[in-house]
Amino acid sequence: MSMTTGGGGGYSSDINMTPMIDILLVLLIIFMVIVPVTPKGLDALVPQPPKNQQQQQQQNDRTIVVQVIYRPGAAPAYKINETDVNKAELLPKLTEIYANRAERVMFVRGDDDLNFAYIADVIDIGRAANVDHIGLMTPKIQAGQ
């Protein structure tokens, strides 16, 4: 770092940093605008274990679990809690169940060998039945019950 005082008007080999910083700031603003602010994806709820026996009994009466059961070589079977349901009957049954409920929470449980497209169909049917919160049950959660 040397200083020069007056005199010789020759060429300087120092890099002018001002244009580079301007370009950097413009690129930073462009990337901040391009990146989406809201995350995309599904809202997922994890079932919480009840604190006492009375709350567990009350929760079991209100909890709706839609099961998608894998059948090799055939379309999957569907159950609402423990009641067998056809896929065509799924939307009317869920609409009937959630018609008078203030708490609109549904859980979806699928077999491991099942294609996720069937689970996504059940989620879409739940949204069509005006379910506010849809949670996915995984094998780890099921083992904890």
Pair type for strands 105-110 and 64-69: parallel
For residue 114, tell me if it sits in a domain: yes
- In the predicted structure, residue 19 carries a pLDDT above the cut 50: yes
For residue 3, tell me if it sits in a domain: no
Contact 85, 79 (CB under 8 A): yes
Q: Show the domain range for 68.
A: 53-143
For residue 19, tell me if it sits in a domain: no
- In the predicted structure, residue 77 carries a pLDDT above the cut 50: yes
For residue 4, tell me if it sits in a domain: no
> Measured between alpha carbons, how far apart are the two ends of the chain, in Å?
70
Domain CATH code at residue 108: 3.30.420.270
The domain total for the chain is: 1
For residue 46, tell me if it sits in a domain: no
Contact 103, 62 (CB under 8 A): yes
For residue 26, tell me if it sits in a domain: no
Give tens-digit pLDDT for 28-74.
999 888 887 666 676 666 766 666 666 545 544 578 899 998 888 88
Give tens-digit pLDDT for 86-117.
989 999 999 988 888 888 889 999 888 888 88
For residue 7, tell me if it sits in a domain: no
Q: Lowest mean pLDDT: which of 6-10, 16-20, 49-53, 55-59?
A: 55-59
Residue 75 identity: A
Whether the model pTM is above 0.75: no
